[in-house]
Structure 1
Amino acid sequence: MARTESKMLALGTVAPEFSLLDTVSKKTMNLHALNGHKGTMIMFVCNHCPFVIHVNPEITKMAIEYQKKGIHFIAISSNDVENYPEDGPHYMRIKAKAENYTFPYLYDEDQSIAKKYNAACTPDFFLFDGELKLVYRGQLDDSRPGNGLPLTGKDLRNAIENLLKGEAIDPNQKPSIGCNIKWKSNNQ
């Protein structure tokens, strides 16, 4: 299990626009149609990564809780499906249903969106405010597969709560750790 850290995109960065296939609805969706009026959580995930499998229950729980409050969640998979076919759109759709995702699970086939967001690992979390400016990037919490720490979503929850209250978000943020994005050989 490779351990790769987030690259920590600069705070204040405006979310890059995208139009990607939602593997659940089978429709193309773009950022401006999906963003939340109070904030938008963009998560780079995949089906097979043990780190993502570990956090799936918490991100599903958080999405249900915070979508009602104006924070929209979006999951994106950018992995090379030629070498990792279990991360392909068909299996993404199955995974989204099995995990009860209440948010779109988008497929970044050419990996251009992962590059625009400077995503490095799965999971990689990016929280944007209502103006789509980056206010948090980093870990969900300190829990990792096998480390025995409870899955709470503490770090990300604190950032979302502060965003909702209009309070400052601590700029000292810990990078997420997970499996590296599986880049196509011509994209590395």
Structure 2
Amino acid sequence: MSKTASKMVPLGTTAPEFYLKDTNSSEWFSFADLKGEKGTLVLFICNHCPFVHHALEEISMIANDYRVQGIGIIAISSNDVVNYPQDAPELMTEFAFENNFEFPYLYDETQDVAKAYGATCTPDFFLFDNLDKLVYRGQLDDSRPGNGIPLSGNDLRGAIDGVVYNRIINPNQKPSIGCSIKWK
């Protein structure tokens, strides 16, 4: 399992717009369609990554906890499905169903969206405020597969709380670690 760190995109970056197909509903959505009233969490994940599997339970809890507080949740998979067929759109639908995703799981076939966001790994988290400005990019927490640290979501939850409750978000953020995005 190779470890790749997220690229620390400059805070204040405006959320790149996109128009992608949701593998759950087969509808097409833009960032503007899915953004939350108070902010938006865009996460790059995929079906097969052990780092994603490790974090799934906490990701689902975060989505459930914060959707009702005005945070839009958007998951995107950008992996090359020719060389990684387990990440194909029809399998994304199954993966989302099996893991009770209550948020869109979009397919970035061209990989242009991942490039626009500066995503490099799965999971990779980007949190935007209500003005669509990047306020957090980094890790869920210090837990990784096999390191014995329990999942808490503390880093990401702290940032989301900052958006929801209009608090200062610590600019010293740790990069996420995960599988590299599988580029074409």
TM-score, normalized by length of structure 1?
0.97
Structure 1 partner of 2:113: 113
Q: Distance in 2 between matches of 1:169 and 1:65?
A: 19
Letter in 1 for 2:57: P
Structure 2 partner of 1:134: 134
Q: How much has 1:162 moved relative to structure 2? A: 1.3
Letter in 2 for 1:8: M
Letter in 2 for 1:160: I
Letter in 1 for 2:165: K
Pair 1:175-2:175 in alignment: yes
Q: How much has 1:123 moved relative to structure 2? A: 0.3
Structure 1 partner of 2:4: 4
Structure 2: which 5+ runs fail to align? none
Structure 1 partner of 2:25: 25
Letter in 2 for 1:113: V
What SS does the corresponding residue of 2:14 show, helix, strand or coil? Answer: coil
4+ runs deviating over 2 angstroms: none
Residue correspondence of structure 1 range 17-166 to structure 2 within 5 A: 17-166=17-166
What SS does the corresponding residue of 1:163 show, helix, strand or coil? Answer: helix
TM-score, normalized by length of structure 2?
0.99
Q: How much has 1:51 moved relative to structure 2? A: 0.1
Q: Distance in 2 between matches of 1:8 and 1:95?
A: 28
Q: Distance in 2 between matches of 1:20 and 1:130?
A: 21
> Could you say what the CA RMSD is over the residues aligned between the two structures, in angstroms?
0.4
Q: How much has 1:9 moved relative to structure 2? A: 0.7
Q: How much has 1:165 moved relative to structure 2? A: 1.3
- 1:76-134 superposed Cα distances (whole Å, 9 cap, x missing partner): 00000000000010000000000101100000000000000010000000000011100
Q: Distance in 2 between matches of 1:63 and 1:165?
A: 17
What fraction of aligned residue pairs are identical, expressed as a percent?
60
Q: Distance in 2 between matches of 1:125 and 1:114?
A: 11
Letter in 2 for 1:152: S
Structure 1: which 5+ runs fail to align? none
Letter in 2 for 1:44: F
Q: Distance in 2 between matches of 1:98 and 1:8?
A: 31
What SS does the corresponding residue of 2:125 show, helix, strand or coil? Answer: strand
Q: How much has 1:172 moved relative to structure 2? A: 0.1
- 1:5-49 superposed Cα distances (whole Å, 9 cap, x missing partner): 001111000000000010000011111010001000000000000
